[in-house]
Amino acid sequence: MRKIAIVKVMIFFLIASLSVNAQEKQPVEKLLGAEDLKIFATNALQKTKELTKYISTITDKGIKDNEIKLEATDLAVELFVSEDNVVEVSNANRSEVIGYKIREYLNKIRVLAFTKVEITFYDVQYISEFKKGPDGKYYGVITFFQKFEGYKEGKLVYKDVTQKNIEVVIDKVTTMYGSKKVERWNVLLGNITVKETK
């Protein structure tokens, strides 16, 4: 009986191995159908909401523990393709748009010279469906409005509303299962650009 059980286990792993290899050799279109893209689109919106949650923590002047804010910064950065992704910022009092790498941007908003900061995202939605790029990745665009309010001693001293776009990227990542490399798809955020500030 023991030999039979061992044989069954070996057959199982052999079939699993063949299945993984066959899947990796399939063209991208076979791995990501219309329903798959819908799921990833929903996941990207969820990651955008997670980003707003982390930004709220980072800018919350009521949180005195800096470690909490630094942890929120690390978690926010993990939502992006890489630390080289850029976030554009604007100001209602000037026409210039400035870009900062994601971690630099998060560190800057953490130490803004206000006693209270409120950054709110709303009307978050897709303006571009996912399309396969020449590099094999899928790209889409989410648009949203960001309301920024800065207070000093309880008084609102600055406010603006900016329309921004977030690039969304679906890319393959490799995960090791023992000695086997298994590729899977993951959705991440890319550059954030300014469309209009008022």
Query: How many folded domains does the chain comprise?
Result: 1
Assign residue 127 the CATH number of its domain: 3.10.450
Tokens of 76: 């926010």
| Number of neighbouring beta carbons within 10 Å of residue 156 | 12
pLDDT band of residue 82 (cuts 50, 70, 90) is: very high
Give the residue ranges of DSSP H helices in the chain: 2-25, 28-31, 34-59, 66-77, 102-110
Is 161 within the bounds of a domain? yes
C-beta neighbour count of 154 within 10 angstroms: 7
Contact 109, 55 (CB under 8 A): yes
Residue 15 has pLDDT above 80, yes or no: no
Residue 172 confidence class, pLDDT cut points 50, 70, 90: confident
4 belongs to a structural domain: no
> Which residue has better confidence, 35 or 79?
79
Residue whose token pair is 């790029």:
133
pLDDT category at 182 given cuts 50, 70, 90 is confident
Find the mean pLDDT for residues 111-139: 93
Distance from C-alpha of 170 to C-alpha of 173, rounded to nearest angstrom: 10
pLDDT band at 128 (very low <50, low <70, confident <90, very high): confident
pLDDT surpassing 60 at residue 59: yes
Is residue 136 left, alpha or beta, with left meaning phi > 0 and alpha meaning psi from -120 to 50?
Answer: left
Domain membership of residue 3 (yes or no) is no
- Residue 20: inside a domain, yes or no? no
Structural domain boundaries, residue 42 = 28-197
Whether 190 is in a domain gets the answer yes
Which pLDDT score is estimated for 137? 93
Q: What pLDDT digit, counting tens, does each position of 41-50 carry?
A: 999 999 999 9
Within a domain: residue 18? Answer: no
pTM above 0.95, yes or no: no
Q: What is the pLDDT of residue 183?
A: 84
Query: What rounded mean pLDDT belongs to the chain?
Result: 85
| Residue 44, domain member (yes or no) | yes
Residues contacting residue 160 through CB under 8 Å, at least 6 positions apart:
90, 91, 92, 147, 148, 197, 198
Is the pLDDT reported for residue 113 higher than 50? yes
The answer as to whether 14 is a domain residue is no
* Residue 192 bridge partners (DSSP): 87, 166
